Amino acid sequence: MSLKPLKIDIVSDVVCPWCYIGKRRIEDALALVPDVPVEVHFRPFFLNPWVPREGISREEYLKTKFGSVDAYKGIAARVVGAAKEEGLVYRPDLVQRQPNTTDCHRMIHWAEAIGKAAEMKQRLMELYFRDGGDLTETEVLVKAAADVGLDADDVRRRLATDEDVALVSGQAQEAADKGVSGVPTYVFAQKYAVSGAQAPELLARAIRQVSAEVNAQAAE
């Protein structure tokens, strides 16, 4: 009997450094359980819903959120180190603008239609954390979409509309309503949630346990 795929919803935000790290860790976890079939979906979350659609300067953001630019430096150093351990680069000094991530989440949703949601998410995160890319710039977003195989002109046209703004906002609200407050949060089989960028071994164990339970119930 073939196993029923385990549904994994990854609730996270593009500008959340622990989500950047957590994405790599869940990928490493999945590599530890190659025999478990899974179906992964990326779900939106707004880490900073108060940031306006046009974004704000990074300096203004850090002052508002952490009290001062210097206050973030100690936090940043820890995150930079954690990212490095996963083979990821985080350069907080390069980030000049803090975006509102509505458009990023729309693009991840559009990329899912061609099976490229993970690639789209990764590209946007790399642009932001590694390259200091301005995710409020339409052309930066359009190029990122083209990089993963979406049609640039189509994405440019859709970004100029409100297409799926209500959808991603609704999904983010739904996650918040279900009690998700810290991200990344991994939801297994729509009923078990693991919060935080946990170690791959712990995530792999959870994947195996929940998959076994889901398939045992399906066999009853």
In the chain, where the domains are located: 6-219
Give the model's pLDDT for residue 28: 98
- Residue 1 is predicted with a pLDDT of 64
Q: Look up the pTM and report it.
A: 0.96
Cα separation values, 95 from 126, 127, 208, Å: 12, 10, 38
Strand order across the 6-12 sheet? 38-44, 6-12, 185-188, 192-195
Looking at residue 49, its pLDDT comes to: 93
Shortest CA distance to 206 belongs to which of 189, 183, 219?
A: 189
Domain 6-219 has CATH 3.40.50.720: no
Per-residue pLDDT of the chain (220 residues; tens, 9 = 90+): 688 999 999 999 999 999 999 999 999 999 999 999 999 999 999 999 999 999 999 999 999 999 999 999 989 999 999 999 999 999 999 999 999 999 999 999 999 999 999 999 999 999 999 999 999 999 999 999 999 999 999 999 999 999 999 999 999 999 999 999 999 999 999 999 999 999 999 999 999 999 999 999 888 8
